[in-house]
Amino acid sequence: MRILTHRKTAKKRNVVRHAINRERTRLHVASGDTVRVMRGEDKGKEGKVMRVYTKTGRVLVEGVNLVKKHRKARRPEEQSGIIEQPAPIHASNVMLLDPKTGAPTRTHVRIDQDGTKERLAVKSGEAIPRVRTA
């Protein structure tokens, strides 16, 4: 019986596997943005985006979609019990707030003369600054 030394599909299998890992969805919100929830149980609530999950297309908004989590004490001095924490919601259910009026708005992108991208509110035409969080 001949020993198989080179597998023809090994390279292709790795390429496909990493391509799946690389898939990311482009979202209209970034961490630090102020958004309003438009759909779901928390409709009408506003909050700051704490984290963006690009693989699943979800965002974590503070004070929105609070779930109860049963937490066990990890150290003797720590208290165990039920804590409330925000859970991620889909990015399609939130809208950015217009900086001029405070109303929810869609956005489009304008590229300036120096090549920098700028987000603009569709309703007022006002620029929505990106909040850089370190």
Domain count, the chain: 1
Q: Is residue 56 part of a domain?
A: yes
14-30: string of b/e by CB count within 10 Å (b at 16+)?
eeeeeeeeeeeeebbbb
pLDDT at 5: 64
Sorting pLDDT into bands at 50, 70 and 90, what band is 134? Answer: low
pLDDT at 69: 94
Flag whether pLDDT at 20 surpasses 80.
Answer: no
DSSP state at residue 131? -
Flag whether pLDDT at 22 surpasses 60.
Answer: yes
Q: Is residue 11 part of a domain?
A: no
pLDDT at 103: 94
* Pairwise CA distance, residues 93 & 100, whole Å: 22
Residue 85 token pair: 């924490």
SS3 26: coil
pLDDT at 13: 61
Q: Is residue 98 part of a domain?
A: yes
**38-95 pLDDT, tens digit each:** 999 999 999 999 999 998 899 999 999 999 999 999 999 999 999 999 999 999 999 9
Domain residues for 118? 24-128
The closest of 42, 15, 7, 47 to 31, measured between CA atoms, is: 47
**115-126 pLDDT, tens digit each:** 888 899 998 889
DSSP state at residue 19? H
Please indicate, yes or no, whether the overall pTM of this predicted structure exceeds 0.85: no
CATH number for 94: 2.30.30.30
* Pairwise CA distance, residues 36 & 97, whole Å: 7
pLDDT at 106: 93
